[in-house]
């Protein structure tokens, strides 16, 4: 199918809006094949994938994950009756809990990040018998009704009201505001991202997270670390909250957990926080949650993440990127005002929305995928897979250099 016909089908049978977005962002090609850190379009153009909304931490078509899935299918088990249990579930639960800090001993599988957030909302309320929930400014927790209630984005919420009542928004890093809210003793759960993704790759101050942790303990609020974007090694630690030495009661994983192939997310919790779901499994369930394909993927992903050289590899590649970005920032500080983040989760902060949009488009046309930040139009995300090579970082640096130069030329000519 040619590109225009494909867009026409999407426009006719799907969202016209998506057809417009793909028309602008597709660089005239749709994706046809992918391997490692590269995607190939239907006409053969190649794109280095530093975008994809942080989905491909383990690379495109990771052979370990694909083999695990093929083995499962050829073994004869492709789905689950949900009446009988299956071995994949037991092994996946054990593997994921083993990857989590030792105070977290229970897990449950769902299908998307937002769904894991919904499960956490319910668990906080069931466990504490309180109704109120709190989140930080700049947060993104998803777009289902509950998750959207905890997302700090007026535009996404517009006309979707009424969402959840009893939600408190706390200014990020304002410990006084946080204490005032928690001291009321009626907040069930505080949701945090240790490194905010969609909000603009903003690492939340460790001192603030430690205060939040202590206050949650003091006032009986459950602390929920949303690691859907930052988890599974993306920041150079298995979990981004580990930089802050805190022990969240509930941790959420998604995106990378499915290897970019199978939709799967997870809620991981302490035995105590998990107790309502322990006592009554029907309080939260999902027909496809924890299906054999998802579980086999989780097993493969946790094996990769546990390998001795995985985190050092992420650190090494993160350091290459950091020095490339530092160089660009020094050269173009009028356009690129700051670079933030850790490991393979980096934010490029521009001095205007226009520069961010121009850079995104220029890179796309040249063969470099970046992701916008859904809640912060001045920031672009650089979230590549860990199989990135030194030559890929040089390529990324070269394309970004041209894009920033292009922005400067536009500025000078306006």
Ligand X SMILES: Cc1ncc(COP(=O)(O)O)c(C=O)c1O
Out of 59, 138, 142, 203, which residue is the one contacting ligand X (CB under 6 A)? 142
| Token digits of residue 395 | 């390529």
Out of 58, 140, 213, 332, which residue is the one contacting ligand X (CB under 6 A)? 140
Measure CA 301 to chain center: 15
Q: Print the binding letters for residues 220-259 with ligand X: x by CB under 6 A, - otherwise.
A: ------x-xx------------------------x-----
Which stretch in 7-15, 90-98, 137-145, 208-216 sits in contact with ligand X by CB under 6 A?
137-145
Please, what is the minimum distance in Å from the beta carbon of residue 267 to ligand X? 12
Please, what is the minimum distance in Å from the beta carbon of residue 87 to ligand X? 26
Please, what is the minimum distance in Å from the beta carbon of residue 54 to ligand X? 7
Q: Is 41 or 142 the residue whose CB approaches ligand X more closely?
A: 142
Which stretch in 79-87, 134-142, 273-281, 321-329 sits in contact with ligand X by CB under 6 A?
134-142
How far apart (Å, rounded) are the C-alpha atoms in residues 76 and 91? 18
Please, what is the minimum distance in Å from the beta carbon of residue 330 to ligand X? 30
Q: Is 41 or 197 the residue whose CB approaches ligand X more closely?
A: 197
Beta-strand pair 202-203/195-196: antiparallel
Contact set for ligand X, span 182-211 (CB under 6 A): 193, 197-198
Q: Is 306 exposed, middle or buried (0-12, 13-18, 19+ CB in 10 A)?
A: middle
Tokens 């499962």 belong to which residue? 72
Q: Is 193 or 313 the residue whose CB approaches ligand X more closely?
A: 193
How far apart (Å, rounded) are the C-alpha atoms in residues 165 and 186? 13
Taking CB atoms, the residue at the shortest distance from ligand X is: 113
Q: Is 58 or 355 the residue whose CB approaches ligand X more closely?
A: 58
Q: Is 173 or 226 the residue whose CB approaches ligand X more closely?
A: 226
Q: Is 114 or 376 the residue whose CB approaches ligand X more closely?
A: 114
Q: Print the binding letters for residues 111-130 with ligand X: x by CB under 6 A, - otherwise.
A: -xxx--x-------------
8 A C-beta contact, residue 376 and residue 364: no
The CA-based dihedral angle spanning residues 335, 336, 338, 344, taken in that order and rounded to the nearest 10 degrees: 170
Q: Determine if 301 is a binding residue for ligand X (CB under 6 A).
A: no
Out of 60, 125, 132, 141, which residue is the one contacting ligand X (CB under 6 A)? 141
8 A C-beta contact, residue 119 and residue 125: no
Q: Is 251 or 396 the residue whose CB approaches ligand X more closely?
A: 251
Query: Which segments within 103-240 are labelled E, that is strand?
Result: 106-110, 132-136, 167-170, 187-192, 195-196, 202-203, 222-226
Contact set for ligand X, span 30-49 (CB under 6 A): none
Tokens 């809990």 belong to which residue? 97
How far apart (Å, rounded) are the C-alpha atoms in residues 343 and 234? 6
Please, what is the minimum distance in Å from the beta carbon of residue 50 to ligand X? 16
Contacts with ligand X by CB under 6 A: the residue count is: 14
**SS3 per residue for 52-106:** HHHCCCCCECCHHHHHHHHHHHHHCCCCCCCCCCCHHHHHHHHHHHHHCCCCCCE
Q: Is 226 or 392 the residue whose CB approaches ligand X more closely?
A: 226
8 A C-beta contact, residue 274 and residue 265: no
How far apart (Å, rounded) are the C-alpha atoms in residues 377 and 347? 12
Please, what is the minimum distance in Å from the beta carbon of residue 27 to ligand X? 23
| Token digits of residue 198 | 């969609």
Query: Which segments within 299-369 are labelled E, that is strand?
Result: 336-342, 345-350, 368-369
Please, what is the minimum distance in Å from the beta carbon of residue 142 to ligand X? 3
Instruction: Output DSSP code: residue 372.
Output: E
Contact set for ligand X, span 86-115 (CB under 6 A): 112-114
Q: Is 95 or 375 the residue whose CB approaches ligand X more closely?
A: 375
Q: Is 252 or 335 the residue whose CB approaches ligand X more closely?
A: 252
Binding site for ligand X (CB under 6 A): 112-114, 117, 140-142, 193, 197-198, 226, 228-229, 254
């Amino acid at each position: 199918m040619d590109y225009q016909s494909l867009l026409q089908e999407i426009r006719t049978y799907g969202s016209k809006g998506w057809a417009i977005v793909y028309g602008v962002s597709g660089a005239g090609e749709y994706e046809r094949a992918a391997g490692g850190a590269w995607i190939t379009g239907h006409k053969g153009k190649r794109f280095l994938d530093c975008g994809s909304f942080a989905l491909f931490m383990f690379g495109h078509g990771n052979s370990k994950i694909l083999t695990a899935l093929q083995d499962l299918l050829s073994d004869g088990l492709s789905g689950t009756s949900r009446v009988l249990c299956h071995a994949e579930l037991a092994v996946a639960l054990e593997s994921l809990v083993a990857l989590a800090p030792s105070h977290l001993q229970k897990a449950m599988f769902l299908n998307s990040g937002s769904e894991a957030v919904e499960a956490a909302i319910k668990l906080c309320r069931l466990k504490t018998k309180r109704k109120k929930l709190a989140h930080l400014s700049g947060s993104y927790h998803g777009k289902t009704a509950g998750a959207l209630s905890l997302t700090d984005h007026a535009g996404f919420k517009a006309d979707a009201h009424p969402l959840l009542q009893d939600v408190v928004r706390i200014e990020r890093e304002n410990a006084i505001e946080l204490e005032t809210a928690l001291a009321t003793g009626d907040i069930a759960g505080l949701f945090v991202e240790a490194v905010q993704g969609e909000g603009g790759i903003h690492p939340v101050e460790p001192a603030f997270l430690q205060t939040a942790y202590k206050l949650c303990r003091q006032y009986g609020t459950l602390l929920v670390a949303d690691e859907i974007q930052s988890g599974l090694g993306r920041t150079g630690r298995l979990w981004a909250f580990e930089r802050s030495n805190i022990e969240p009661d509930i941790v959420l994983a998604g995106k990378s957990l499915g290897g970019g192939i199978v939709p799967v997310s997870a809620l991981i919790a302490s035995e105590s926080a998990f107790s309502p779901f322990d006592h009554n499994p029907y309080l939260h369930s999902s027909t496809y949650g924890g299906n054999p394909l998802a579980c086999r993927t989780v097993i493969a992903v946790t094996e990769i993440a546990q390998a001795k050289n995985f985190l050092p590899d992420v650190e090494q590649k993160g350091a290459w990127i950091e020095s490339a970005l530092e160089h660009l920032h020094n050269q173009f500080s009028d356009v690129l005002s700051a670079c933030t983040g850790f490991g393979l989760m980096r934010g490029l902060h521009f001095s205007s929305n226009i520069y961010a949009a121009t850079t995104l488009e220029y890179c796309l046309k040249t063969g470099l995928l970046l992701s916008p930040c859904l809640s912060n139009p001045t920031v672009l995300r650089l979230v590549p897979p860990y199989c990135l090579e030194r030559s890929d970082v040089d390529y990324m640096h070269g394309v970004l250099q041209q894009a920033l130069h292009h922005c400067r030329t536009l500025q000078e000519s306006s």
